[in-house]
Structures are given as C-alpha cells and as structure tokens.
Amino acid sequence: MQIVFNTSPLIFLTRLELLETFLAQENQYIAPQAICDEIQAKEDEVSLVLKNIFSQNSIRIHPVQMTLLANSLNQRLGRGESEAITLALELSADCVILDDFAACREANRLGLQVKGTLAIIKKLYQDQRIAIENLDELFQHLVSINFRVKRILFDEIFKDESSSGDWR
C-alpha cells in the first residue's frame, strides 16, 4: 500500500511513540516536500525524530508535480495538507493520513481514502501491535499533547473496542 502523510499525524504519532510501530508495517510511506520543509523548520525533539526517519527513508519525500492543484487547494488549506492531498492523487495512493476536518472533507471529495491519527491508533490496537489499557487515559494523553478531538468523536471511533472504557 502507498500511504501519504500530512504533518500533524506524523507529529502526534511521534509524540505518542507510535510512529515507528506503524512504519514497521509493510507499506510504502510517502510525504510531500512541504511536510519535510515544515519539519526541518523546527528544532524540537519531535522534529529530530522525524528528520531521522526521513534520512532513513522510512518515509520517502516526494515532490508534487501538479502544482496548480496544490496551489488551488492551498487557498483553503495549509500548504502541507494541500501537497499531501495532491501527492496522494498523483500517486493514486491507497490512503492519505490527515487530521484537519476541512482537509479530510476535501480529500474525500476528490475521491481519496482518508485516515487520521485515531484510525491509526485503533488499527495498531486491532492488529495487536500496541496495548492500551484504558480509553480515558488514552483520551487524556491525547489532550495533553494538544491533539484536538471532541470526546464524543473519540468515543464513537473506539466504541467497538469496549463498552466499559477498558481494553482487555
């Protein structure tokens, strides 16, 4: 599978220490140049981890060719989101990883399969690649790293995993 990333899911999965677990799966992971530029512009712990992942080609950096589309999308979305959507279309990627609501809506409108950070966490759990003991603790951890999600949406995404809030 070809999976194209936007910046925020990379940052949140890194903060949660789940990115490398996700990247260990047999897929082709790609990010547009704008994502690399956004990461390179920062000098924090997360950016250092991501720079290392890029240098190891665990996530390949790929330039966008359809610049007119990217620029058009950039009038409504951020540069990284615009390039991630454009690159996913160019490559006929299997999935684009986005968290921003407007970007997800636009990607869906353009016929792309969209997943977000929470979908990745749920998939890792379902594949028994991670263990999460308590949904309330997971939600609080997400809030503590500035991941913005309404509790009702979080509960809806994880409702099949537990009726009591605990994953066992």
Given a cut of 80, is residue 23 above it in pLDDT? yes
Token duo for residue 84: 């991630």
- The pLDDT value given to residue 130: 94
Q: CATH says 2-118 is which class?
A: alpha beta
**What is the mean predicted confidence (pLDDT) over 50-79?**
95
Q: Tens digit of pLDDT for each residue in 154-165?
A: 999 988 654 333
Query: What global pTM score does this model have?
Result: 0.89
pLDDT tops 50 at residue 36: yes
Residue 21 and residue 30 in contact, taking contact as beta carbons nearer than 8 Å: no
Q: How confident is the model at residue 34 (pLDDT cuts 50, 70, 90)?
A: very high
